[in-house]
A = this chain, B = another copy of it.
Amino acid sequence: MNVTSKQIAELCGVTRGTVDRALNNRPGIHPDTRDKIMRVAEELGYRPHFLAQSLVKGHTKTLGIVLFDIHNQIFSQLFHAFEAEARKRGYIVYLVLSNRDKELEMEYINNLFDRRVDGIALLPANDNKKFESFLLRSRTPIVTFGNRLFGPFPYIWINDKQAICDSVAFLADQGYRHLIYLSPPLMRKGKENIYVPEQRYQGFIEACAEIPAMRFNVIAHKQYLTELETLLETIDSKCAILCSSDVYALEVLKWLKARKIRVPDQVGLMGFDNIEFLKYINPSLTTVDYNVNEIGTKLADLLIRRINDEEVPVETLIDHHVLQGESVMSE
């Protein structure tokens, strides 16, 4: 397999100790001998035995990141930024996809522990005490994002509740008097970690409750289009559908077009995330914009600072704002 320092020693006619001195840049060796050893090592493609060194040094310069999936572009964008920052700081990254499967998530995290990753960035699907003590037991630094745990794990994301409050206020300002909040992840309540979906949901309920003239519904089903169809038939005031993420808004837009329901003339539509693909969509989608690259970069930074035993804030929230597109009709 790989070239060993023993082989280099044989080829150069020196002892293995001399080779080690040259490779580790230690004194007590003639410059010519050092040059020869370095040349031979390079020609042979010598690389120090990383795993063996890791056992001694206690670090592997490896991070793990656990995502649900990268079908939703917001997470592939986040990964790009995370990976770039990790690389800049000398780390390589394991990406594992839990597919929101709680068992699989634990299995994967165990795999990452086994490989002695220096730290893990975690979008958790689990949320119970047992899971948290499992994480804490390993003593591996962990930073969470996109869903929260309640143990001492730093968290980075946006203020989701406020973002939906802002969205409701924006739609009310445009004259909408009936809002349908569409968030299929809510159906997993009690089954898995839905911290962020619940924050957004609470923001919706509270913001609507503060506007006396506002009527509203919540759709939290897998068969959300069927429910939407029934619901839309009963509404006669100026109505908008507010979706918990752009991917649902795109599905709804596709369905509305197929039914020849015009956006925004007959119904308003709003998403959440401002994924890159939105630039190809007509009508352009009103959405909640936030800098996911900033989240990815800061996520890597927080994790590496935790690995280096630095203090990091328990909570880091990135700015957001409502981005107006053509899918909402101004009053």
Contacts and interface: CB of A to CB of B under 8 A. Distances in A.
A277 interface: yes
Interface string A26-54: 00000000000000000001011011101
B138 A115 contact: no
B97 A83 contact: yes
Q: Looking at chain A's contact residues, is the secondary structure mostly helix, strand, loop, or mixed?
A: helix
B1 A47 contact: no
Interface residues of A, number: 51
In the complex this chain forms, how many copies of it are found? 2
Interface string A106-125: 00101111111000000000
A45 B110 CA distance: 10
A134 B51 contact: no
A223 interface: no
A2 B137 CA distance: 8
A283 to B, nearest CB: 10
A114 B254 contact: no
A92 B108 contact: yes
A2 B276 CA distance: 42
Nearest to A137: B45
A253 interface: yes
Contacts of A80: 69-71, 97
Given A55-B52, A253-B280, A71 B76 contact: yes
A10 to B, nearest CB: 18
